[in-house]
């Protein structure tokens, strides 16, 4: 059974957030490196939900009143996205009440917080590449110079692609990713974000 079929079966062919049946597609919860993707890290979502999850500017608070039901889902990806959206909207009032009722296991809560939706704008650490482009968890970058890897004789060569990065939540200058089999910390000044097509 494909991932699409598993999610359709699990959801009854409805958006797992708002129960819409229109324009359904798989939504991988980011960052995939720490928990998104696959059956546990994905959900079936309508186009409206997908657009608003990915673009805070497009978020319409009233659409997310649906979370009153879906926040109780037994599925990790649904709970994590519900928590993130309620956190993003908490200043509306009613989402704060729902958040207070919600419970997530420690691992799920850590995963949910990776989006930074629970932080005020002034608290958010923004990671930018060498060109000033904002980096997000799950993005792919390319090294723009040779980098010696601390504690080893390895050199990560200029032009090396590092896929599905994770962000350091305490320092805007550091990201992590795999070069070959090795997970390394990379300074953001030495990377350029790759476009979707690359």
Q: What is the model's pLDDT at position 197? A: 59
Contact partners, residue 74, CB within 8 Å, separation at least 6: none
Regarding the domain with residue range 125-193, which homologous superfamily does it belong to in the CATH classification? SH3 Domains (2.30.30.40)
pLDDT tens sequence for the chain (198 residues): 899 999 999 999 999 999 999 999 999 888 765 555 688 889 999 999 999 998 888 889 999 999 999 999 999 999 999 999 999 998 888 999 999 999 999 888 888 887 666 555 555 677 889 888 888 888 899 999 998 887 778 888 899 999 888 888 778 888 988 888 888 889 999 999 987 655
48 backbone dihedrals φ, ψ, rounded to 5°: -60, -50
Spans of all domains in the chain: 3-113, 125-193
Model's pTM, two decimal places?
A: 0.62
């Amino acid at each position: 059974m494909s991932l699409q079929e598993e999610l359709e079966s699990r959801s009854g062919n409805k958006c797992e957030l708002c129960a819409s049946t229109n324009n359904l597609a798989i939504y991988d919860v980011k960052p995939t490196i720490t928990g998104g993707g696959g059956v546990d890290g994905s959900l079936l979502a309508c186009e409206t939900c997908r657009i608003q999850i990915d673009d805070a500017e497009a978020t319409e608070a009233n659409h997310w009143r649906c979370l009153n039901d879906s926040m109780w889902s037994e599925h990790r990806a649904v709970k994590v996205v519900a928590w993130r959206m309620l956190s993003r909207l908490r200043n509306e009032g009613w989402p704060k009440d729902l958040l207070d009722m919600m419970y997530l296991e420690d691992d799920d809560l850590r995963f949910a917080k990776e989006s930074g939706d629970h932080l005020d704008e002034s608290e958010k650490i923004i990671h930018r590449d060498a060109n000033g482009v904002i980096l997000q968890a799950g993005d792919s970058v390319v090294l723009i110079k040779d980098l010696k890897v601390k504690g080893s004789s390895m050199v990560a060569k200029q032009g090396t692609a590092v896929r599905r990065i994770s962000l350091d939540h305490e320092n805007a200058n550091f990201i992590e990713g795999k070069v070959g089999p090795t997970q390394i910390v990379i300074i953001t000044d030495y990377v350029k974000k790759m476009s979707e097509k690359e």
